[in-house]
Amino acid sequence: MEDWKIKISVLWLLHTLGSVFVGFVMWLEPGVIEEIIAGEVMGTKITPEILLIVSIEFLVPFFMAFLSLTLNDSINRWLNIIVGIVFAALGLISVIEYLAIPSAYFAYAVLVWFSILVVTALVVWYAWKSKQKT
């Protein structure tokens, strides 16, 4: 198996781990559990559509980790570039959103989302560079 495919697969797993970490630690912030019980998180009403979107955002990197190891090179390369750019943009939006909230509790989220942004940028980089190796 090619080295770049393994790197990209591991990066997608790191992306997911970072997302899980942010979600888990968020529960430890004061008042969050009460918000969730009231049906709201950070001012956003929890709806079936929101839960579906969050589920998709959570599952796509898992599928990408698998597909990165199994797809042929050309499809693999472009799929990782496209999905990587989309998830890097989502990571950038998350960093900006958390920076806009004046709370010391969100410093961890900025750090982790910035790390996730770097991870997805590396996915795009390795996929882009893979063309030179094939």
Residues 25-34 pLDDT 10s: 888 888 889 9
To which residue do tokens 């190891």 refer?
A: 69
6 pLDDT band, cuts 50/70/90, is very high
Quickly count helices (H) and strands (E) in the chain: 5, 2
Query: Whole-angstrom Cα distance, residue 85 to residue 18?
Result: 17
**Contact at 8 Å (CB) between 13 and 96?**
no
Q: What is the pTM of this model?
A: 0.86
**Three-state secondary-structure class, residue 44:** strand
Query: Whole-angstrom Cα distance, residue 89 to residue 87?
Result: 5
Looking at every residue in the chain, the average pLDDT score rounds to: 90
